[in-house]
Structure 1
Amino acid sequence: AGLIAAGVAERVLLIGAETYSTIVDPLDRANAIIFGDGAGAVVLRAGHPDEPGAVGHFDLGSDGDHDDLIMVAAGGSRQRSRPGEPSRQDRHFAMRGKEVYRHAVTRMAESARATLSRAGWKIDDVDHFVPHQANLRILHSVADDLGLPRERCATHVESVGNTGAASIPLALADAAAGHVVRPGDRLLLTAFGGGLTWGSCLLTWPALPAPAHPHDPCDQGERTTS
């Protein structure tokens, strides 16, 4: 959105993809059953702020003090500069679930409220809440914290698991293909991940061409940004 607003780009292809199968230990029963591989993409183009599909107000945040809550200990250059081979455990994804849950619910709810406040929206103005698909417990806890009915929460984590950066694009595509999200609906998107990092944004869903394969959440067309 910033590149487009600055005139650097007319259209931007944005892709979120994860291959958790390459970093999750299949013997780790706590995490192996939660995460899945996935990819989602969207095209953003220049438009007008009041045009359906425009990226609206947003909020972004990070806290590096908690980088150890979600990590692959031997996943970067620091480990490669040390003598000896890393352990099996250090080669794989690790997450301290209880602490991540607490931070995820708190940060996502705070970020969502900040975004709504900047836009002058009330919670009742939100037709659909599309959060990062961590797990149903986190999604429902955030919705409850915000005072949003759970039925307004778009989910597909029960079908594909937590696909990380792909989860919101996939949830949007799935909801659009199933006609759950319709043109004119007002959406609140909220995400949380390693770092720790989090963010939220608002948009009004535009009229898009029907997918080539109605049951395959792909090819959802363009969205616009100011």
Structure 2
Amino acid sequence: MSHSRISGTGGYLPERVVTNAELETLVETSDRWIVERTGIAQRHVAAPDQICSDLAEAAALEALANAGIGADAIDLVLVATSTPDHVFPSTACRLIERLGIASGAIAFDLGAACSGFVYGLDVADRFIRTGGARRALVIGAEVFSRILDWSDRSTCVLFGDGAGAVVLEAGEAPGILSTHLHADGRQTPLLNVPWGVAQGYESLQGSHGKVSMRGNEVFRVAVRTLGALVDETLEANGLARGDVDWLVPHQANIRIMTATARKLGLSTDRMVSTVAEQGNTSAASIPLALHTAVSDGRIQRGDLLLLEAFGAGFTWGSALIRY
């Protein structure tokens, strides 16, 4: 049985930056209020002609370049997203054509909201370990601005657009040491987009196709759940809190992220944080944060990383990785 390791990372952020000061002109809010409660100072928003596959392609090309392989070597493409180009075909299938990946490769999208990238790592790792694939592109990509109600101050200040990608390759030494995934659909009303194909296109009116969130309740559940997830991950690997070198969390809220770092016994300078500059990019946030810390040299080969996320569903999951 093979193991899988990360051989390359990539990221892409749209050019347009929306600051808190700009949001002050749209809704009743303030830069101070947003920063104090979320840690977010700005976010990137896709251009009107940009779609999910555009962002995903740019991140994937950088990941391939950093891995030193061509697209024709990839035999699995997995895109984690809540904002795909179409109902079908999948955004992953579109990338096969756009990237020049050989016909016959495996390609599909995965929907687990903000936990999507961690879910995607788990699935790709299982393909590689069981011989179903040798090299995989795992991408988190979102154009979340398309499903935001820009008059709802409780949600429009939080989210941004972007894409992050990793190349996973089979190898003898373990890279992904363990993954831990969970879900609970009983709390769907706390965070959702209350529209789907089942309702029919005619029902897509006003805020029905936009994000709805009860933020305080989501915050409480997330902090409690991620704390338990940290314990689960460490115990499964026989590790102590101080053994982890870097926490790479989903970039949802600086208070949630800091609480998780405390649970690990890590100082905040061992936590990768991009939330101030990028906001919550949903499934793209972890691979973007990982790429940032790899690119600037903070994360080095051999470091032990804990990736963790919590998202709508609810879904939550972690990945322990020897980078």
Residue 46 (str. 1) matches residue 46 (str. 2): no
Q: Distance in 1 between matches of 2:297 and 2:152?
A: 37
Pick from 184, 191, 196 the counterpart of residue 70 of structure 1.
Answer: 191
Q: Distance in 2 between matches of 1:23 and 1:145?
A: 33
Pick from 266, 272, 291 the counterpart of residue 173 of structure 1.
Answer: 291
1:46 aligned counterpart, secondary structure: strand
How far residue 160 of structure 1 moved from its aligned partner, in angstroms, is: 0.7
1:184 aligned counterpart, secondary structure: coil
The question of whether the paired residues in 1 share the 8 Å contact of 2:230 and 2:263 is answered with no
Aligned to 1:132: 250
Aligned to 2:128: 4
The size of the alignment, in residue pairs, is 199
How far residue 87 of structure 1 moved from its aligned partner, in angstroms, is: 4.1
The question of whether the paired residues in 2 share the 8 Å contact of 1:105 and 1:141 is answered with yes
Where in structure 2 are the equivalents of 1:146-165 lying within 5 Å?
A: 146-165=264-283
1:165 aligned counterpart, secondary structure: helix
Q: Distance in 2 between matches of 1:79 and 1:110?
A: 36
Aligned to 2:8: none
Higher mean C-alpha displacement, 176-185 vs 54-63:
176-185
How far residue 178 of structure 1 moved from its aligned partner, in angstroms, is: 1.4
Residue 20 (str. 1) matches residue 144 (str. 2): yes
Identity %: 44
Aligned to 1:220: none
Higher mean C-alpha displacement, 111-120 vs 145-154:
145-154
How far residue 144 of structure 1 moved from its aligned partner, in angstroms, is: 2.1
1:35 aligned counterpart, secondary structure: coil
Residue 80 (str. 1) matches residue 200 (str. 2): yes
Pick from 158, 177, 183 the counterpart of residue 34 of structure 1.
Answer: 158
**Structure 2, unpaired ranges of 5+:** 1-124
Q: Distance in 1 between matches of 2:176 and 2:231?
A: 17
The question of whether the paired residues in 2 share the 8 Å contact of 1:26 and 1:32 is answered with yes
Higher helix share: 2
- TM-score, normalised via structure 1 length: 0.84
Aligned to 1:210: none
Aligned to 2:319: 201
The question of whether the paired residues in 1 share the 8 Å contact of 2:140 and 2:164 is answered with yes
Give the CA RMSD over aligned residues.
Answer: 1.5
The question of whether the paired residues in 2 share the 8 Å contact of 1:60 and 1:111 is answered with no
Residue 55 (str. 1) matches residue 179 (str. 2): no
Equivalent residue letter for 2:218: V
Q: Which structure has the higher relative contact order (CA within 8 Å, separation 6+)?
A: 1
